[in-house]
């Protein structure tokens, strides 16, 4: 049993008006009042459902609102957007839409519906239904509670499936036996909620989950949808726990038949990754760098001992996106080269001074994207981070004294030699061997002579 005093477990039918007002920030309450007003105006019954209710009872932060209406969800959302004079984004296939209400709170509006699944893993066929049926189709008891918002009975708590009892007992339980068959991505959701809330999976739910995995249900789901769930898992604080469970229950192997064995010590690996990301983000604030997402770093960390080629293929097949494919591509050559330059002590001579030149550092790191930089920082000591910072603060934005047009005006024929000379001159500039444009041009002229190869 969970002893957490912030968990409130009201009876079905209780009035939760004061709880809403006590626990939710004023902005969120204003949005709830707007939904209530809309329900009164249109006469369409509306309820707060799902994660919003769960998190309210748990005393966790409620960020966005999930609303279900017994009637036309899109019409309701249009009316709500009118009240708030806000943007509406409809998604008509399921009669759902969302409205952004100030100050950036997303209100998801869905038509109460019943779902039937033509095949496991496919998106469902939907028809309008009562709130009761809508709650019945949901994944877990803890996500099947609702609070009425209008047009009457504001604040009435609806808990027909023992959601609150399971919330207090700390149990993730499917609402019905067909839950994983209806939507196998719930296998991943169950494991994610278990880790996030530090709950246990109900025994029958575990049986159903393992049977579903063994019967290959996850193969029926599109890789795009699997990707979304993996991203959600890797974004959470307790991702390493989820990965342990995915592995123990055979889900990981069933998903990734690519010889992608989970590395040992995922927890320690992620801790280092988070530390490096924090380091990168503080640098990024000062220097206007591209944002790096936590899940991307963690996904790359999971590559472990698998070959760079396998990992790239896997990442492409699961549509992991541009940041991942860039870093996965760098894993083969550029990353190991940078690793050697940064970590290899043979760059330090017998007097303890570094022979690692600024230009070597520059050319090695300039070929790497931000994710690889975070990974390098995660592997290294403070000394390595200092080198990386040095690159960002001192070297990265140096403007070359000479460019291709300067070389053309020296009547150098088009061809690869132009690039080689530019690189040599720029290296000399980075290393402080040429100090101004005149010296750089002199060096370029010297190198451009037929006998001028090398300095």
Q: Which residues bind ligand CTP (CB under 6 A)?
A: 50-51, 66, 138-139, 143, 183, 185-186, 189
β pairing state of 200-201 and 171-172: parallel
Nearest distance from residue 68's CB to ligand CTP, in Å? 9
Long-range contact set of residues 259-265: C-beta below 8 Å, sequence gap at least 24: 259/306, 259/310, 260/302, 260/303, 260/304, 260/306, 260/310, 260/311, 260/314, 261/304, 261/305, 261/306, 262/302, 262/304, 263/301, 263/302, 263/304, 263/305
211's enclosing H/E stretch is helix 203-214
212's enclosing H/E stretch is helix 203-214
Nearest distance from residue 5's CB to ligand CTP, in Å? 21
Q: List CB contacts of 179: < 8 A, sequence separation 6 or more.
A: 139, 140, 186, 208
Choose between 51 and 370: whose C-beta lies nearer to ligand CTP. 51
Choose between 66 and 406: whose C-beta lies nearer to ligand CTP. 66
Nearest distance from residue 143's CB to ligand CTP, in Å? 3
Choose between 224 and 382: whose C-beta lies nearer to ligand CTP. 224
Q: How many other CB atoms are there within 10 angstroms of residue 307's CB atom?
A: 13
Q: Which residue number places its CB atom closest to ligand CTP?
A: 51
Q: For residue 76, what are its two tokens?
A: 């309701």
Nearest distance from residue 55's CB to ligand CTP, in Å? 7
Nearest distance from residue 136's CB to ligand CTP, in Å? 10
Query: What does the DSSP 8-state code read for residue 395?
Result: I
Nearest distance from residue 182's CB to ligand CTP, in Å? 8
Tell me which residue of 109, 113, 140 sits closest to 124, measured CA to CA.
Answer: 113
Nearest distance from residue 293's CB to ligand CTP, in Å? 16
Choose between 47 and 320: whose C-beta lies nearer to ligand CTP. 47
Choose between 213 and 376: whose C-beta lies nearer to ligand CTP. 213
Choose between 60 and 281: whose C-beta lies nearer to ligand CTP. 60
Q: List CB contacts of 315: < 8 A, sequence separation 6 or more.
A: 299, 324, 325, 328
Q: List CB contacts of 304: < 8 A, sequence separation 6 or more.
A: 260, 261, 262, 263
Choose between 159 and 183: whose C-beta lies nearer to ligand CTP. 183
Nearest distance from residue 58's CB to ligand CTP, in Å? 10
Choose between 66 and 70: whose C-beta lies nearer to ligand CTP. 66
Mark out the alpha helices in 318-415 (DSSP H runs).
Answer: 322-330, 334-343, 358-365, 370-379, 382-390, 404-408
């Amino acid at each position: 049993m969970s002893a957490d005093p912030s968990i409130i477990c009201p009876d079905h039918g209780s009035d939760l008006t004061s709880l809403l007002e006590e626990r939710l920030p004023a902005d969120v309450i204003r949005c709830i009042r707007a939904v209530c007003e809309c329900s009164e105006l249109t006469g369409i019954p509306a309820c707060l459902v799902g994660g919003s209710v769960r998190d309210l009872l748990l005393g966790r932060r409620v960020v966005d609102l999930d609303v279900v209406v017994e009637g036309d969800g899109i019409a309701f959302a249009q009316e709500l957007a009118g009240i708030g004079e806000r943007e509406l984004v409809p998604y008509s296939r399921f009669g759902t839409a969302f409205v952004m209400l100030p100050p950036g709170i997303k209100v998801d509006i869905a038509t109460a519906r019943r779902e039937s699944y033509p095949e496991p893993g496919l998106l469902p066929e939907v028809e309008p239904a009562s709130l009761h049926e809508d709650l019945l189709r949901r994944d877990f008891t803890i996500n099947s509670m609702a609070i009425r918002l209008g047009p009457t009975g504001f604040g009435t708590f609806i808990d027909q499936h023992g959601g609150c009892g399971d919330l207090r007992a700390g149990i993730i339980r499917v609402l019905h036996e067909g839950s994983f068959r209806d939507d196998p991505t719930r296998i991943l959701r169950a494991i994610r909620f278990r880790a996030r809330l530090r709950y246990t999976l109900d025994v029958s739910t575990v049986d159903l989950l393992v049977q579903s995995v063994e019967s290959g249900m996850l193969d029926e789901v599109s890789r795009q949808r699997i990707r979304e769930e993996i991203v959600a898992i890797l974004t959470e604080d307790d991702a390493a726990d989820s990965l342990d469970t995915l592995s123990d229950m055979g889900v990981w192997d069933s998903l990734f038949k690519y010889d992608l064995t989970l590395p040992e010590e995922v927890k320690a690996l992620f801790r280092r990754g988070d530390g490096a990301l924090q380091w990168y983000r503080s640098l990024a604030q000062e220097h206007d760098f591209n944002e790096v997402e936590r899940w991307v770093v963690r996904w790359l960390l999971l590559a472990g001992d698998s070959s760079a080629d396998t990992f790239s293929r896997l990442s492409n097949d699961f549509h992991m996106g541009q940041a991942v494919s860039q870093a996965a591509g760098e894993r083969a050559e550029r990353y190991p080269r940078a690793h050697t330059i940064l970590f290899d002590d043979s760059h330090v001579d017998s007097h303890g001074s570094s022979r690692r030149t600024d230009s070597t550092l520059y050319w090695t790191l300039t070929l790497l994207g931000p994710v690889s930089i975070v990974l390098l920082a995660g592997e290294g000591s403070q000394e390595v981070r200092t080198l990386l910072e040095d690159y960002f603060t001192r070297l990265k934005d140096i403007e070359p004294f000479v460019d291709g047009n300067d070389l053309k005006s020296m009547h150098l024929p088009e061809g690869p030699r132009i690039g080689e000379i530019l690189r040599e001159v720029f290296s000399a500039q980075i290393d402080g061997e040429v100090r101004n444009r005149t010296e750089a041009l002199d060096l370029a002229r010297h190198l451009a002579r037929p006998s001028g190869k090398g300095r």
